[in-house]
Chains A and B, each alone.
Chain A
């Protein structure tokens, strides 16, 4: 038992530096704690960043005889030059894919750390260390390729729909088993050849696992891969005998797992469905194709202005399309106008509106929409029945009744906003194209629904001026 767990690295770190690491670990715990509350979130994040800075700076002073120092500093500088401008300038709408990308490179880094340690100390490592190495390589590589693929999906560089390869689940299972076999073999006989096989198989596994994940499930996968990276960082910490990496990695692994479960719950999706649902959902898109020529009722901006202007109660359902059109400010202007006329207006925020849970809150906060006008789903759903007009701007899947009525739909079981309870529904859409999940929305063909086609910002601007002239 003890030989299995014995750490190979006798720590040459001085005691004071170990105490600094303890301080940093506490910073990270408090950072996560802070991030869980709206008031403390920003300070929590800053505390985490401060802790990380301390850890890195102290490392250079506490490690005797560090080689390759100029190269190391140059590499850090390159990382800074790459990361800082991207993180600073990215549009808030593209943030989910950026998080996926950052997560992926972290997973790649963790895998590399273990690979290097293996190449350096290879055969002499204890079995426990080798097992941790295998774990880091598998999970880190899966996280790396999986996250990069998720990034490409969200960037819409490749299709957002599930990609199902014929016999995909068999290929995935085979690769998964192959990865495990290679991992066990590596622990028994540590050779560089086996390591190479393990890396290739794990990288392939990451791609195969994410390929069939489609549309609305992508955010959950980001969160899951985030937890994965955390665990692989923890395992790499075990390989190196570094307490800070173990603590930080495990914290993220554990909290990320919990967060993933919460998100899946908010969408009414057991996690297993998210990952394997697409394997069975192939028939849906073919079936949905049939209804596209059916008549819909469309109207001009003036008609919509009249509907809104004479309502007593209006609810706005903002979606990702609103953000893409950069129409957050315009919608706020419209809401301000209506409120000034004495009309009661609220925003209904679905938990996964946008591309990530909470994403829409961030986007509307950017446009200075007051917090108290944002109503969460459970709070607003009973209100729809007493609402005159619901205006759905650039959202689709979160109001699609198929989630309740059609067990074959990929989003079946996801809680939705019950907009069909309202007197009238107005959809602002660019086209009849289905939403991110790629499913036809029956509500578009409902007699109480009016469609207003066009770019959300243009049409909203026209609605605003029409309301002003009333």
Chain B
């Protein structure tokens, strides 16, 4: 298969996976889910490192380093803040186990 077509195939299939995976989420989890998804696209850091790793001119190197800083902030900050949100959901769970919570979902 042509590599461009292969990438397009991956793209289209990922759309369906993305829809499928979050199809039933309670409003309670909208904020953490958004925040977690936000962290995941911070993986653009990989791209930023790749282009900076092959950059030659001062301009592209500087732009690349800015991209790395920004992407790292997105990636690290995103996962940390999501974990903090979810930590709180967890903390109160032991107080009373949640049979009716499960029924609501």
Complex Cα gap A250–B41 (Å): 9
Which of these, A7, A42, A44, A372, contacts B7 with CB under 8 Å? A7
Q: Is the CB of A68 within 8 A of B52?
A: yes
Within 8 A of B (CB), among A77-99: 78-80, 82-84, 86-88, 90, 92, 95-96, 98-99
Q: Residues on B close to A: CB < 8 A?
A: 2-5, 7-8, 10-11, 14-19, 21-57, 59-61, 63-93, 95-96, 98, 100-101, 104-105
**Prevailing SS type, chain A contact patch:** helix
Q: Is the CB of A66 within 8 A of B22?
A: no
| Mask of A88-120 contacts with B, CB within 8 angstroms, 1/0 | 101010011011001101101110110111011
Q: Does A361 contact B (CB under 8 A)?
A: yes
Which of these, A48, A84, A112, A370, contacts B36 with CB under 8 Å? A48
Q: In the complex, which residues of chain B have a beta carbon less than 8 angstroms from the beta carbon of A162?
A: none
In the assembled complex, 9 residue pairs joining A and B whose CB atoms fall closer than 8 Å, in A order, are A36-B25, A41-B29, A83-B80, A98-B77, A102-B77, A103-B41, A120-B51, A233-B43, A245-B43
What's the nearest-Cβ distance from chain B to residue A260, in Å?
A: 9
Q: Is the CB of B73 within 8 A of A82?
A: yes
Q: Is the CB of A105 within 8 A of B5?
A: no
Q: Is the CB of A95 within 8 A of B85?
A: yes
| Mask of A51-83 contacts with B, CB within 8 angstroms, 1/0 | 010011001100100111101101110111011
Q: Is the CB of A84 within 8 A of B77?
A: yes
Q: Is the CB of A103 within 8 A of B14?
A: no
Complex Cα gap A295–B42 (Å): 52
Complex Cα gap A319–B83 (Å): 23
Q: Is the CB of A246 within 8 A of B11?
A: yes
Q: A48-B79, A230-B41, A371-B96 are in contact. Are A242 and B33 (CB under 8 A)?
A: no
Q: Does A262 contact B (CB under 8 A)?
A: yes
Which of these, A105, A245, A262, contacts B73 with CB under 8 Å? A105
Q: In the complex, which residues of chain B have a beta carbon less than 8 angstroms from the beta carbon of A237?
A: 7, 47
Q: Is the CB of A68 within 8 A of B28?
A: no
What's the nearest-Cβ distance from chain B to residue A218, in Å?
A: 13
Stretch at the interface among A309-317, A352-360, A429-437, A462-470: A352-360
Residue ID in chain B nearest A9 by CB atoms = B3
Q: Does A212 contact B (CB under 8 A)?
A: no
Interface residue tally for chain A (C-beta within 8 Å): 116
What's the nearest-Cβ distance from chain B to residue A71, in Å?
A: 6
Q: Is the CB of B72 within 8 A of A79?
A: yes
Within 8 A of B (CB), among A96-153: 96, 98-99, 102-103, 105-106, 108-110, 112-113, 115-117, 119-120, 126, 128
Q: In the complex, which residues of chain B have a beta carbon less than 8 angstroms from the beta carbon of A181?
A: none
Q: Is the CB of A6 within 8 A of B91?
A: no
Q: A68-B61, A259-B34, A365-B92 are in contact. Are A110 and B44 (CB under 8 A)?
A: yes
Complex Cα gap A37–B91 (Å): 16
Q: Is the CB of A368 within 8 A of B92?
A: yes
What's the nearest-Cβ distance from chain A to residue B82, in Å?
A: 5
Q: In the complex, which residues of chain B have a beta carbon less than 8 angstroms from the beta carbon of A55?
A: 43, 46
- 10 extra interface residue pairs, beta carbon distance < 8 Å, beyond A29-B21, A32-B36, A371-B101: A41-B89, A49-B39, A52-B75, A72-B68, A109-B67, A230-B40, A243-B10, A259-B34, A266-B27, A370-B92
Q: A115-B63, A258-B22 are in contact. Are A252 and B41 (CB under 8 A)?
A: yes
Q: Does A256 contact B (CB under 8 A)?
A: yes
Complex Cα gap A250–B24 (Å): 19
Q: Is the CB of A113 within 8 A of B67?
A: yes
Q: Which 9 A-B pairs have the closest CB atoms?
A: A79-B72, A254-B18, A5-B4, A106-B74, A83-B77, A250-B14, A357-B30, A112-B67, A87-B80
Q: Does A244 contact B (CB under 8 A)?
A: yes
Q: Is the CB of B89 within 8 A of A98?
A: no
| Mask of A386-421 contacts with B, CB within 8 angstroms, 1/0 | 000000000000000000000000000000000000
Stretch at the interface among A182-190, A221-229, A279-287, A439-447: A221-229
Q: Is the CB of A72 within 8 A of B60?
A: no
Q: Is the CB of B88 within 8 A of A120?
A: no
Q: A109-B45, A226-B37 are in contact. Are A241 and B7 (CB under 8 A)?
A: yes
Q: Is the CB of B101 within 8 A of A36?
A: no
Q: In the complex, which residues of chain A have a beta carbon less than 8 angstroms from the beta carbon of B45?
A: 52, 56, 76, 109
What's the nearest-Cβ distance from chain B to residue A428, in Å?
A: 24
Q: Is the CB of B101 within 8 A of A63?
A: no
Q: Is the CB of B32 within 8 A of A358?
A: yes
